[in-house]
Amino acid sequence: MLDKTAKGSTVGSNKLDKKKEIIKKYNLSKEDLTWMLRNVFVSRKLDDAEITMKKQSTAFFQISGAGHEGVLTALAKVLKPAHDWFIPYYRDRALCTGLGVTPYEMLCQANGNIGDTATHGRQMPAHWGNVKLNIVQKSSCTGTQFLQACGVAEAGLALKELKEKHNYDTSKFLVEDAEVVYTSCGDGTIAQGEFWEGLTTACANKLPVLFHVEDNGYAISTITSKQTPGGSISKALDEFPGLKIIECDGNCPIESYKAAEKAAKHIREGKGPVLLHSHVTRPYSHSLSDDQSMYRTKDELAEEKQIDVFNSYPKTLIELGVMTEKEVNDLLEEVTIDVRRAMKEAVDTEWPAPESALDHLYSHDVDPTSSDFETEGSFEGKTDIPMASAINAVLRSEFSKNPLLRMFGEDVADFSDLEKLKDPELKGKGGVFKVSSGVQRASLEGQVFNSPLAEANIIGRAIGMAMRGLKPVVEIQFFDYIWTAYMQLKNEMATTRYRSGGDFKCPMVVRVPIGGYLRGGSIYHSQCGESLFTHVPGIRVVFPSNAADAAGLLRTAIRSDDPVMFLEHKHLYYQGYNRTADPGEEYMIPFGKARVAKEGADATVVAWGALVQKSIDAAKKVESETGKTIEVIDLRTLAPFDMDSIKKSLEKTNRLLICHEETKTSGFAGEIAACVNEECFEALDAPILRVAAKDSHVAYCPTSEDYILPQVSDVYEQLNKLLSY
């Protein structure tokens, strides 16, 4: 539905009687209209103040919201802080001031000091956030916000349902009736794939999301018509199923107010998402590192100056008889003085202590490395449970106990059609490896569901849910296809707690089948790349080698308060050698605590995943031939990893071999070797050796695969070399 409420390109084309009709219809008082002008002035003067601070080297970056203030001010007037939710983008200064963020707080962010309530000195200016106002702290990434907004909306609906249908106590969560989840972007960001993923998710699930596209005609220097079909996002999306489209002149706060009211009403009535396409200006360059006079004509800039809300809206209010010219000038002077005062106070505010820069990488309240997560297992009953089944048992148990858990991914549910759950003859899918089989039946309706075939969609929505209080335990079907989600994982999931100074967090578990040795897995079903996640601060990385450890570590991951990459080796799912008795429903293993898989005195092998058993087999062969004994340490978790256990072992053996399936160059063995070199070099009687995959992709041919991936024979050869040094 394309609703062109006011698509004028200039304020001059908007007749006063049309504005009078809107004022009358929505009962806008002089106080309302004056408040909107004040907010426009405040936002613009804050941009000017930051530019001044940048020139004075008291701010270190600046990107303005100039020209966007009209529609954003109207939205701030219509939407409700601490009721609705907001994931705005960097031009949304006027929205945030209108919702209640103060000039002082914004200018403290420009300076990076302790008065910054958005990021606590962690992010550049214009990266909005305010936990008290429900403004979710935003990263620099363009396009990641849309899927997160869907997740925030889904969490709100889920919490409301838990309260109303299951009498669940949601008092610790902010759950309101008729919420709107606002998210926004410029016309350039609509080229991002996640914009389209977010739209389709919101429409398919009828989510209460307001997508605001602020179209100033330029993505830095690229014009809209060169990247959007038909030159207009609202035209391109006309008749998009389930999406209401409202197009407005964003330079006019009065007309924008009408559009914002219509959008909010549609969403609050439960009718689904809205795309608000506002036409705005960009009187200042993209940022201070850009000079738009190099690619925009003087005539174009002069025309924009006339319709710029900072100039056109005061004129409109004077022509309407709402304010006199003197009242406008007095208001501008008052705002200017207030912002100057705020700038001085901000510049005088102290910076945080340097050592506090490492705070909030992980939870301060829940430590998964502590003894709180070290519980005894019962290990009774069935004795040959494979790793896949052990993981499945934990998922069933935890989901049956905790209604806040959510699991989704590709094919993870037993059924997409819930009616089929009632059919006893249908077993259901439950994942391509059957690891999530039956979890849907063991949980409440809506806790387990299938996602679209889109990895970023899975992670982005999970991040939004986690920010809001749910605990997602999601699955990426194959590690080989995780890369479309890497932006969400590295720049969003891992940074949420840190970049918000602890105001928001992202506790979630990402389960990922990983690794090769499948015979025929080839390039795209054999990848192993754990070091690409151990390298990212803020993420816990778990890589079990056996069923008991997988059960204990997964329960720890689910009950911890940090984002966890839980890597499950596909080859190990149903092996006979790594099975377990039932460890019970409370068994947990702390992160960062290695397991001595085999004791020995003459050499230490450190391994994880599929290389643990291969190392044990090689060690036994060496021992039978040499009489020397080999200690094999299974790290189990890589971030953090148990350096103390390695040191303790080296005190006995004085020799170290590190084995992993990932390629040798830049693999995690290099990190361990570096730490050993730095911390216990004197304990070594031989060089540190490594066994790893060759620096190649994995080929399809079985003999080629065997040659590329590390085998028992490779470990055996390097152990002999190590012992003979």
Say whether 649 sits in a helix, a strand or coil: helix
Model confidence pLDDT, tens digit, residues 651-677: 999 999 999 999 999 999 999 999 999
- 327 and 455, same domain (yes or no): no
- Helix axis angle for 325-348 and 103-111, nearest 10°, is 40
Q: How, if at all, do strands 637-639 and 540-542 pair?
A: antiparallel
Mean pLDDT of the chain: 95
Q: Does any domain span residue 406?
A: yes
pLDDT of res. 293: 80
Point out the domain boundary residue: 347, 363, 397: 347
- 103 and 44, same domain (yes or no): yes
Measured distance CA(398)–CA(119) in Å, rounded: 34
Model confidence pLDDT, tens digit, residues 159-198: 999 999 999 999 899 888 999 999 999 998 999 999 999 9
- 131 and 262, same domain (yes or no): yes
Q: How, if at all, do strands 209-215 and 274-279 pair?
A: parallel
- 115 and 56, same domain (yes or no): yes
- 523 and 603, same domain (yes or no): no
Q: Does any domain span residue 361?
A: no
Measured distance CA(593)–CA(640) in Å, rounded: 9
Measured distance CA(523)–CA(516) in Å, rounded: 9
Q: How, if at all, do strands 637-639 and 656-663 pair?
A: unpaired
Which residues, other chains included, contact 140 with Cβ-Cβ below 8 Å and sequence gap of 6+? 90, 123, 124, 127, 491
Model confidence pLDDT, tens digit, residues 140-167: 999 999 999 999 999 999 999 999 999 9
Active site residue 212: no
- First and final CA of the chain: distance in angstroms? 76
Q: Does any domain span residue 590?
A: no
Which pair of structure tokens corresponds to residue 34? Answer: 């004056």
> Is 311 within 8 Å of 245 (Cβ atoms)?
no
Look at residue 225 and tell me whether its pLDDT is greater than 90.
Answer: no
- 460 and 508, same domain (yes or no): yes
- 576 and 625, same domain (yes or no): no
Q: Does any domain span residue 352?
A: no
- 328 and 385, same domain (yes or no): no
CATH number, domain of 708, equals 3.40.50.920
Model confidence pLDDT, tens digit, residues 322-352: 999 999 999 999 999 999 999 999 999 999 9
Model confidence pLDDT, tens digit, residues 22-78: 999 999 999 999 999 999 999 999 999 999 999 999 999 999 999 999 999 999 999
Sign of the torsion formed by the C-alpha atoms of 645, 648, 652 and 656: positive
640 preceded by cis ω (within 30°)?
yes
pLDDT of res. 10: 40
Domain housing 680: 595-723
- 564 and 613, same domain (yes or no): no
Q: CB count, 10 Å around CB of 354?
A: 7
Largest separation between any pair of C-alpha atoms in the chain: 100
Q: Does any domain span residue 92?
A: yes
CATH number, domain of 113, equals 3.40.50.970
Active-site entry in 68, 360, 525, 660 = 525
- 145 and 21, same domain (yes or no): yes
Look at residue 11 and tell me whether its pLDDT is greater than 80.
Answer: no
* Residue 273 banded pLDDT, cuts 50, 70, 90: very high
Give, as one character, the DSSP assignment of residue 709.
S
Work out how many domains the chain is built from and give that number. 3
Point out the domain boundary residue: 527, 561, 582: 582
Measured distance CA(598)–CA(633) in Å, rounded: 7
Q: Does any domain span residue 363?
A: no
Model confidence pLDDT, tens digit, residues 548-599: 999 999 999 999 999 999 999 999 999 999 999 999 999 999 999 999 999 9
CA separation (Å) from 344 to 313, 339, 696?
29, 9, 58
Which pair of structure tokens corresponds to residue 487? Answer: 């932006």
User: Is the pLDDT higher at 217 or at 74?
Assistant: 74
- 198 and 99, same domain (yes or no): yes
* Residue 1 banded pLDDT, cuts 50, 70, 90: very low
Q: Does any domain span residue 709?
A: yes
- 310 and 450, same domain (yes or no): no
Q: CB count, 10 Å around CB of 302?
A: 9
